[in-house]
Amino acid sequence: MVKMIRKGNNMKKIILDCDPGMDDSMAIVMAVKSSELDVLAITTVNGNYPVDVTSTNARKVLELLDRTDIPVARGMANPMIRKSPSDPFTHGRDGQAEAYLPEPAMELSEIDAVDMIIQLVKENPGEVTLVVTGPMSNVAMAMQKAPEIKGMIAEIIAISGAFGLNQYAFLNATGDTPQSEWNVYVDPEAAKIVYESGVKVIALGLDVATYFDVNFSEEDIDALKASKKKEAAFLTNAIQFVNKRGFDAYCTVIDCMAVAYAIDPSLVQTIDAHVGVETKDGLTLGMTVIDRRHHFVWEHLPVISVGCKAECGRFLQLLLELVLK
């Protein structure tokens, strides 16, 4: 059984399913430090890096925050039916912007991520939100292994897809096809299963997670540098790492948008729409195709909530408040 520290009844219970990654690492920081969220577990998956690396990195962050009471469960090492692609964007040799945090002493959970998800959802029916910042392999496999949990999950908030709702969606495409997002591109079959599961899905795609104006001011950077918090130093290093490689600072906090939405849904406007996931190899692999036509809509496609506009200023303020807390 999973040993957990129980918190206030008014906190939202979440499982953070992730593939750290510098931005996933910051998502862990946000979730763990928020007084609004009760992090029941962190489950890791192959994505930005192999699952052994992401499992190590998740534990490094928890030790950085002195929160080794939160279990970390190792998840799927590969997508459901295909080989894992190589990420064209690198998070550094350690997967954390070359921060080289100390190797973790805490052990992995004795049960794997799929079983962890199943167990915690069943122990807390209707109460657990899955916050997914990596490929959906673990979640999809949990649904296939224990279909009954689909009716017990409160909702799924995911960094998932690119829907073409604004200029950011495809200009910042992170998959290895022109209009795909990395998490869906890595395991499109898993995304398809989750989208079609009937569970409430809020997909925060590149339309809202990669705004060019999600950047830190000089005052923000000065505040991070002045802080004695280890997590502030981690973020400062990540920002410098991406800047030196010609990328903007938003790359360090993409996955934080899902945690921010879990804390305060008013940060992102959403629309409900029919969405399909392209699973055929080629030019469109991993595309999340949204059908918003007035006529002849493909009604057989699942309806999910899609992020269309984010309040970037409030998002950054929340992020910085939690990092510096």
State mean pLDDT over 242-270: 94
User: What is the per-residue pLDDT for 9?
Assistant: 65
The answer, yes or no, to whether residue 255 has pLDDT greater than 60, is yes
pLDDT number for residue 247: 87
pLDDT digits (tens, 9 = 90+) for 276-290: 999 999 999 999 999
List the one residue out of 253, 204, 273, 17 whose CA is nearest residue 121.
Answer: 17
Higher per-residue confidence, 175 vs 125: 125
Structure confidence at residue 71 (pLDDT): 98
Residue 253: HSE in the Cβ half-sphere, 13 Å Cα cutoff: 33
Q: How is residue 141 written in tokens?
A: 């496999």
**Domains (range + CATH), the chain:** 12-324 (3.90.245.10)
Residue 203 pairs in a beta bridge with: 158, 306
pLDDT per residue as tens digits for the range 21-44 = 999 999 999 999 999 999 999 999
Give this prediction's pTM: 0.95
d(CA 24, CA 30): 10
CB 206 within 8 A of CB 173: yes
pLDDT at 222 over 80: yes
pLDDT at 211: 75
Name the average pLDDT for the chain. 94
User: What average pLDDT score do residues 242-257 get?
Assistant: 92
**pLDDT reading at 2 higher than 60:** no
Q: What is the pLDDT of residue 128?
A: 98
pLDDT of the residue at 119: 98
DSSP state of 247: -
Q: Establish whether the linkage from the previous residue to 151 is cis, with ω within 30° of 0.
A: no
- pLDDT (mean) for 299-323: 96
pLDDT of residue 3: 39
Report the pLDDT averaged over residues 51-76: 98
What is the structure's pLDDT at 11?
Answer: 95
**Residue 191 phi/psi, 5° resolution?**
-60, -40
Are 209 and 158 in contact by the 8 Å Cβ rule? The answer is: no
Q: Where are the alpha helices (DSSP H) in the chain?
A: 22-33, 51-64, 113-123, 137-145, 168-171, 182-186, 188-195, 206-209, 218-226, 230-244, 256-263, 312-324
Contact (CB, 8 A) for 160 and 132: yes
Give the mean pLDDT of 296-311: 96
Question: What percentage of the chain exceeds 90 in pLDDT?
Answer: 87
C-alpha neighbours within 13 Å on the C-beta side of residue 96: 26
| Cβ-based neighbours of 86, under 8 Å, separated by 6 or more | none
